[in-house]
Amino acid sequence: MRRWLLPMAVLLPMLVFIYLPVAVLVLFSLHDGRVPVPPFEGPTLEWYGRVLANPKVVQATLASVGVAVVSAAISVALATLAGWGLARHRVPGRRWIEAAILMPLTVSYLVVGLGLMVAWSGVIPKSLPLVVIGHVVLNLPLAFAILYVQFDRDQARLEMAARDLGATEAQVFWRVTIPSLRVALIAAFALCFTFSWDEFIVAFLLSGFDPTLPVVIWSLLRTGLDPQTNAAGTLVFLVSIVGVVLVELLTHRKRARGPIV
């Protein structure tokens, strides 16, 4: 028992430090009062009603979902092709290409956002498609990092076996490569989705007149503290949680059935 004391003494305050702000946010979204400050009164769902009745918020939610789905799909598709290409062929300068694909992970969102804003000004107007491009720039390295390691020797042998049994290259790709990477593809997509879903800086710089949800929440904040923003923030948080749980269920079920050989 005693050997747990010290680790717990470190772990518990750390968890409180991480989760207290989220807990407070969620709690005061249920606050029955005009300003979300203690003491807590309520609970009430009034603010959720108001937020969901706000056409700006609804519009922005749809925009965010659209951007997240499209940018995650593009990121995963490009990362899969890049991983497959680099892992399965002798590519001159492979290391440099890998580094070039992974590099944006180290560049700050602000720089990426400003760069896209400047580079595309006059070519593509600030709009949701431009946000999609920005999110692909941010998420492609992430998807690539997840998927590239999956193209290992075992995977290569599966493809070899498929070829040996008479499959064409297209059949190898669609019937063996993609299905056997299913878990990693789901994980990469879900991660790209959640990162895009609550990304603010790039969306703020590039979305123009079609703001995404984080941008709208930010503009709500400018008019002062209001439990409405707590409610909106809680909804954003809930979507992320549901996403994570779904992925965990989908991938864990596979793992529980035994090692994927």
Q: Which residues bind other proteins (CB under 8 A)?
A: 154, 157-158, 160-168, 171, 175-176, 179-180, 182, 257-261
Residue 1 CB, shortest distance to other proteins, in Å, is 39
Residue 255 CB, shortest distance to other proteins, in Å, is 10
- When the beta carbons of 118 and 165 are compared against other proteins, the nearer one is 165
Q: Which long-range contacts (CB under 8 A, 24 or more apart) does 239-247 make?
A: 239/197, 240/194, 240/197, 240/198, 243/190, 243/193, 243/194, 243/197, 244/190, 244/194, 246/190, 247/186, 247/187, 247/190
Residue 128 CB, shortest distance to other proteins, in Å, is 35
In terms of Cβ atoms closer than 10 Å to its own Cβ (0-12, 13-18, 19+), residue 15 is exposed
- When the beta carbons of 18 and 170 are compared against other proteins, the nearer one is 170
- When the beta carbons of 171 and 219 are compared against other proteins, the nearer one is 171
- When the beta carbons of 107 and 260 are compared against other proteins, the nearer one is 260
Angle between helix axes 55-88 and 46-53 (nearest 10 degrees) is 80
Residue 226 CB, shortest distance to other proteins, in Å, is 49
